[in-house]
Each structure stands twice: as C-alpha cells, then as structure tokens.
Structure 1
Amino acid sequence: MTEKNLLTEGRVLPVLMRFTVPFLIANIIQALYGAVDLAVIGWFCDPASVAAVSTGTQVTQIVTSLITGLTLGGTILVGKYTGMRDEKQTCKSIGTTLTVFAAFSVVLMILVIGLASPILTALQTPEEAFVLARQYVVTCGWGIPFICGYNAISAILRGYGDSQRPMLFIALACMLNIAGDLLLTGVFGWGVRGVAVATIAAQAVSMVCAIVYLNRGHFIFKFTVRNLRIDGARARELARVGIPISFQELMVRISFLYLTAVVNALGVDAASAVGVASKYDVFAMLPATSVASALAAFTAQNYGAQRPARVRTAVGAGLGFALAAAACFFLWAQLSPQSMIGLFTRDAATIAVGVPFFRACSFDYLMVTFVFCLNGYLNGRSKTLFTMFSCCFGALCVRIPLLYLVQTYRPDSLFLLGCVAPLVSGVMAVYTIAYTVRQFRLDLRPALC
C-alpha cells in the first residue's frame, strides 16, 4: 500500500487541505450539473420549463442522496482498512462496494421510472409543468446505473486517500454536460429532455473513462467481473455504516420535498425562485459538504491507525475553513440577492418573489456548516446511528412541523418559509456540538489513565 495514499502521516493541516481542495473542486464541478441545466433552461425556455427542471431536480436529488449515503459508507470502509494497511481487506471492501451498487442501481432505476408520476403529483407540481417534469425525471432515471457507478468509484478512491482522480473524472463529465446542454437544448431545441440526456450521457462517459484509466494504471484493485463479488463480513459492515447515512439523507430530502410541495402551491414564479435558491444552497454549502466528506475519510484512516489526536486538529481546521467560505455567500445573499437570481432567470416576477426568500434562507449557509462538518467527523468514526437520528429528528420533528405552521397561517410568506432551514440547522448544531465534545473527551480517557 503506497504511502502517498495515507492520511495518517505528515502535518495535519497541509494533509487535510491537499485532500479537501480536490474534493471541493470536484463538488463545485458536480454542482454545475444542476446549475447549468437550470440556467440553460432559463435562457432558452419558459418559466414552466424552469419549474419543471426545478421540481424534477428535487426528485433526482433523493436518488443522489441515497447513492451518496451508501457510497460514503464505502469511503469509510475502505479508509478504515487503508489506515490499518490491510491490503486484502481493502480489496474485499472495494469489490463488495462495487457489486452492491451494481445491484442497487438497477432496483433504484426501476423504482424512479415507475413512480415518477405519483411522486410529482404528491409534490403538487404546477399543471403547466407536470409533463415536462415527468419527462426530466424519467430520462434521468435511465441514467441511474451510471450515477451509481461514478459515485461508487469516486468513494472508493477517496477512502483510499485519493481525491484528485475523482476530480478529474467529474471535470470531464461536466465539460461534456455543458456542451450537451447547449447543443441539445440551445441548438436542437430539445428543451427539458435535452438537459436530462446531456447529464446522463456525460456521467456514462465519465464512468467508463474512470474504469479504463484505473485498470491501465497501478490501482490496488482491478475492475474485472471476477473481482466483482460480495464478501459477507464486508457487506454487513458496509450496511451497518452506509444504511444509516443513506436513510438520514432520504429523510432530509423528504422534508425538502415537502417544502417544494408547499412552494409549488404558490405558483410557477414562487417555484422557480425557490428552485434557483436551491442551486445556491448547493454552492454555498459545498465547502462544508466537501470538508465533511474529507473528514469522514481522514477520520476513518486515522482511527484505523489509532491516531485520534490528528482528527481533533483536523475538525477544528476544517470547520474554520468551511465557515469562512460560507460567509462569502451569506454576504452576497444579504447585499444583492437580485444579482444571484438574475444569473438564472430574467423573469422580473421570479426575481421579485425570490428576494425575501434568499435573504432569510441564507442564514442556513452558516448554521448548517457546523452540522455538516461535525457529522463528517462522526460518520468517519462510524457513529452513523447518531447522525441518522439527528438528521431524522431535524427533518421530521422540526422542519416539517415548522413548514406546516407557515403553510397554515402565512402561506403567502416566502420570507417565513426561508427562515425554516436556518432554524432547523441551529437546533441540530447545538446537540451535535455537545455530542462531538463528548466524543473528544472519551478519546482522551485512555491517555489520562
């Protein structure tokens, strides 16, 4: 096992930053997928198409959340055995992760395609956008195996200590996606279907290129049919770590789908504005999500190597970096929300209704940073049951009731709807900080004996 893949050696801050920055770049590039789709639709199509892609994206994000939750389990598993320098178990973990995801992707694809209409109906998708939204969801559904494949390979590489190659693979996909969006929608006039086809085609090419490149290189694992097998012990470990993460992501997405349903009932302009805001949510929270994912791998390797002190230093450094980056987006949303919305749509009505929502929801950029970064550390420690209950409590017991109250008593106030997210994240941050401090103290006990 090569030393360059280990996160257990060297000064903590340089090692963490070298690992995190490619993570951040890759996540920025990946976020461009949805942003470019929505921007191209906004440039070449009507508000109904924007609302269709916005609502359809909420559905596809459920799929992505399920996938990334399980893949993070793969990252933690591979990271643990990489830190222990156990090459045999590392390879078994990789083979198990890939095989499980191959089967999971087929089941997920069938479910998404078959349930597209009932889901969009439950979301109260505006009538004029319903057919287009279904078109987007079904088309993206056919590409789920490629999404699973790319994310599984990237998760394995990151657990192994390599965040650079996933960045290169997603950069290729993003360039292809942008070119495909402009060609199929801007030139050929395919509209919503065009951006969906461009997205899945780009991910398919990226996945294939990743497999070919790694097989021709000196990676620890060869991507062959013979090596795609499930090891029972590693599968149980993957399930124990990955399923709680995946479930919590699902519950969070369901709570946001409820927000989508509430907003859709207010009309196309409100749906478009909140759809644009959701894109900025992704970008503003990218530093926190990138640090969280990096901390999960960093923590898994260093706990595998019995070096918990390095992890405490990494958590503090990562949290400070993520907060500073999130503050930039927060200030932009407070000072000039019109310019943020204007990058995605020129419709005056959409901009007008979106301004109060942007100013309110941008406080979440700061609050959620604490939750994401600390959850990344806890996931790396395999404390996924805590993060699952934490996120489910925030989503089901705080966010949905608050949204219901606003919908019942002030259904026309996008400002109050925007306040819900930062309130939820603030509550979650309090008890997550308390639990993290407790874990740090437990780490110190052997040293004090």
Structure 2
Amino acid sequence: MIKDLTKGSTSKVIVAFSIPMILGNLFQQLYNIVDSIIVGKFIGTNALAAVGSSFAVMVFITSILLGLCMGTSVVFAQFFGAKNIKDLKTTMSTSFIFIGIISLVISILSIIFVDNILIFMNIPEELCKDTRKYLIIIFSGIFFTFLYNWAAGLLRSLGNSKAPLYFLIVAAITNIALDLIFVIYFDMGVSGAALATIISQALSAILCIIYCIKNLGFLKFKMNEIKFSKEIFKLTSSYSLLTSMQQSIMNFGILMIQGLVNSFGATTMAAFAAAVKIDSFAYMPVQDFSNAFSTYVAQNKGAGESKRIKSGIKFSIILITVFCLFITIVVEIFADKLMLIFVNSSEIQVIAIGVTYLRIVSLFYCFIGYLFMFYGLYRGLGHVKVSIVLSVISLGIRVVLAYVLSPIVGLKGIWWAIPIGWIIADTIGGIHYFKSKVVV
C-alpha cells in the first residue's frame, strides 16, 4: 500500500508509518540477538564474546550499505512527494546498479582481509578461530543485506512500511528455527549461528524484491528505462554517500570502543556483548522512529509543506521523551534480569559488568533519542553534512573520552564516555537548528 505522508494528521501519519518500521527493525535485531542467546547458553562465554565482537564488525561494514540505501530512499521520497515518477524510476535503476556493485566489492574485500580485521579488533587469540568462522560466513551474505535494505527503503519512501515488516517477521522466525537446528541439533557452533543469519537475510531480501516487482505496477520498467544516469547519480550520491559516511562514522566509533573493551579480556567482552544487545534493543524504537521521521520530512520537503515538518518536530520530541523515560525505568529496574537472557546465572562477573554498563548508559536514553531525531530531520531536509558533523562530534568525543578515562577509572570511564558524547552532539544540533532556521 502506497501512503502519501504530506496529507492528514501529523501525529497519526507519523505514528502509523513508524510503527511497522520499529517492529521491523526489532525483528531484524533478533538475528544477532538470537545468535547471542543460543551461543551464550549452549556453547559458552567465549563463543558469546566471539559473536559479540563479530556483531560490532558486521554492523560497521554493513553500515556502509545501509547508509547508501537510506540516503537513496530520501531521494525516492522527495521525488514521490513531488509526484515526479520519471526521475524516481531513473533513481531506482541507477542506485540499484551502483549500490549492488559496492556490496559485492565489500563482501569480497571483507573476506580477503578478515585476518587483518581480527588484529585491528584486538581479538584475543583464544577467540580468533570462532570469530573468523563467524565473520567469513556473515561477509558472504552481504549482498542479501543490500537487496533487502534497497527494496525496503523503496517501499518505505513510498509510504509502505508494513510489507518490509512482514518479511522480517518471516525471516526472524526462520532464523530462530535454523539457530536451534544448526547450533543445538547439528552442533555446528558459531558457524551454524552465522549460517542461520545469512539464510534468513536472503529470505527477507528475496521476498521483498518479489513484492516490489508484483505490487508497484506504476513503477514497471521498460528495457530502455533500466539505465545508469550520471545526473541522477550525482544527485543520489550527494545523499547516499554522505549518509553512508555518517553511518560508517557512527559504527567506526562503536568499533573503536569494542576494540578498547576487548583489551580487558573475554569476560568483559562477553558482558559488553550482552549489554550492548540490550542497550541497542532498548533504544532501537527511537532510532527507527527517526528513520521514519526522515521519510516524512523528505516527502513534505518535496511537497513544500514546511508547516507539517515543524509540527512533526514538536510531536517527535514529545514522543521520544515519553518513550525513552519509560525504557530507562525498565532497564534500571531489570538490568540483572535482562543480562540473564544471554548468560547463565553462574557467570556472576559477566552479569555484574553488564549491569554496571546498563545502569549508567540507560539514564541518558532521551539524549540518544533526540540525536537520532536530529539525524532524521537533517537527512530528510537534504542537509546530510550536518548529520555527519553531529555523528563525528558524538562518536569522536565518546572514543577520545573512553581512551582517556579508562586508564584512570577503568571500565566506568568507557561507559560514561558514551552519554557525554550524546549530550554534547544534541546541544550542537539544537543550536544549529535555531540559529540556521533550516525549516522556515
């Protein structure tokens, strides 16, 4: 179903469009979370640490593609909002060719340099074998990550956020079933968990592509319309390359933090792996809400509806505040219970480290929520460079403080560096909004 986000009640339109995206990404997060739960419970702490470190690497590398797809979807939304179907179709074919080639190159290079990645990440020697196995299989499926996110980005740019959700539900259920079969029944270890993940990703990608072909009749291509346009590429790349840069910077900072955490040993790695899963799952809804908000802003920018953008900003701030305060309370109260999802109760030290992390970082979820909103706003308006600057500020401060404070106060220095980066970036994002008057 195609949805015009330039009409109707602002709050109802944003909520109705964002809920399927939030649910969809929560299911997508289940891929690695289920891997971690099953690996941690049935294989052990070292395997959990290997999968957890792999997740940071995997997110960084795939973030390049996600950024390209997210940036391109903004152009899709703007052309759709302006009812410019001709250029929308040209953007589709151009972006598919460009990002598809990039995904294959990334996949091949990641496999070739996997050992260098392990060295860069400070992976302990006893974990290298499992981490290497897991990553090679995951890297082999990168093209499916591109396929799904490109097709899902197209559907969402047209106001259809429900179809991608359905495909992710199917994929998540498949992933859980295959995890149980490969890891427990066939005793395939971390390789089984990785294989379950890429098969599930392939399924969601194929289903999404088939849906687009069958249901977007008004975008049906003739052979001469499948082309690579240099003009459209310049326009698209101004969004997609910068958004990709933003996503890469964000996740490179996380990768740097992961490398620092790894230097504290396997127990800390396992605790961090579990805590970060809980952390990301807790604030993932506001991140996805902000991605939905970006599409809303893009469509309304294309239609010249600045008043709707302003009202959308006010509504988003209220919603993010209420949700994040609720999640903060939940995590603060149940931090130890949440850690037990990933590790056995006998892992007392792992649980203690994870609980400390969660009880520090969760106090500041509102600030990461506001930061995601700024990312979505500036990306939707086409001011992607501002999003990049905010990412650099947030993660630059986080990384520098983590490396400065950890030798002085230990792990708590790393944990406190995270919200400090959020707060400073929020402050700068707010000052820029009011001073530059980006929405008139």
Q: Structure 1 residues 244 and 442, CA, compared in 2 at 3 Å: closer, same or farther?
A: closer
Match of 1:345 in 2: 343
Match of 2:227 in 1: 229
1:62–1:250 contact (8 Å) kept in structure 2: yes
Cα deviation, residue 442, structure 1 = 5.1
Q: Structure 1 residues 139 and 55, CA, compared in 2 at 3 Å: closer, same or farther?
A: same
- Any residues of structure 2 matched to 1:35-184 within 5 Å, and which? 35-184=33-182
Q: Structure 1 residues 224 and 85, CA, compared in 2 at 3 Å: closer, same or farther?
A: closer
Q: Please tell me the residue identity of whatever aligns with 2:161.
A: S
Q: Structure 1 residues 335 and 6, CA, compared in 2 at 3 Å: closer, same or farther?
A: same
| C-alpha separation in 1, matches of 2:143 and 2:35 | 20
Cα deviation, residue 224, structure 1 = 8.6
Q: Please tell me the residue identity of whatever aligns with 1:283.
A: F
Out of 201, 204, 216, the residue aligned to residue 203 of structure 1 is: 201
- Any residues of structure 2 matched to 1:36-435 within 5 Å, and which? 36-222=34-220, 228-346=226-344, 347-396=347-396, 398-410=397-409, 413-435=410-432
SS in 1 for 2:228: coil
Cα deviation, residue 322, structure 1 = 2.4
| C-alpha separation in 1, matches of 2:175 and 2:438 | 47
Cα deviations by residue, 1:317-339 (Å, 9 ceiling, x for unpaired): 12322232222331123223111
Q: Please tell me the residue identity of whatever aligns with 1:359.
A: R
Cα deviation, residue 227, structure 1 = 5.3
| C-alpha separation in 2, matches of 1:10 and 1:368 | 29
Cα deviation, residue 223, structure 1 = 7.4
Cα deviation, residue 110, structure 1 = 1.0
Cα deviations by residue, 1:187-217 (Å, 9 ceiling, x for unpaired): 1111100111011111112211222233223
1:378–1:436 contact (8 Å) kept in structure 2: no
SS in 2 for 1:189: coil
Structure 2 segments unaligned to the other structure (5+ residues):
none
SS in 2 for 1:10: coil
Cα deviations by residue, 1:93-125 (Å, 9 ceiling, x for unpaired): 111221112111111101211121111111111
Q: Please tell me the residue identity of whatever aligns with 2:411.
A: L
| C-alpha separation in 1, matches of 2:191 and 2:275 | 22
TM-score normalised by L of structure 2? 0.96
Q: 82-91 vs 344-353, which deviates more?
A: 344-353
Q: 382-391 vs 281-290, which deviates more?
A: 281-290
Q: Please tell me the residue identity of whatever aligns with 1:282.
A: S
Q: 344-353 vs 39-48, which deviates more?
A: 344-353
1:101–1:149 contact (8 Å) kept in structure 2: no
2:41–2:343 contact (8 Å) kept in structure 1: yes
2:148–2:209 contact (8 Å) kept in structure 1: no
Cα deviations by residue, 1:30-84 (Å, 9 ceiling, x for unpaired): 1111111101101111111000000011100012211111111111000000010
Number of positions where the alignment pairs a residue of Structure 1 with one of Structure 2: 438
| C-alpha separation in 2, matches of 1:302 and 1:259 | 37
Cα deviation, residue 383, structure 1 = 0.4
TM-score normalised by L of structure 1? 0.94
| C-alpha separation in 2, matches of 1:165 and 1:195 | 26
| C-alpha separation in 2, matches of 1:139 and 1:67 | 18
| C-alpha separation in 1, matches of 2:100 and 2:218 | 20
| C-alpha separation in 2, matches of 1:43 and 1:224 | 52
1:247–1:388 contact (8 Å) kept in structure 2: yes
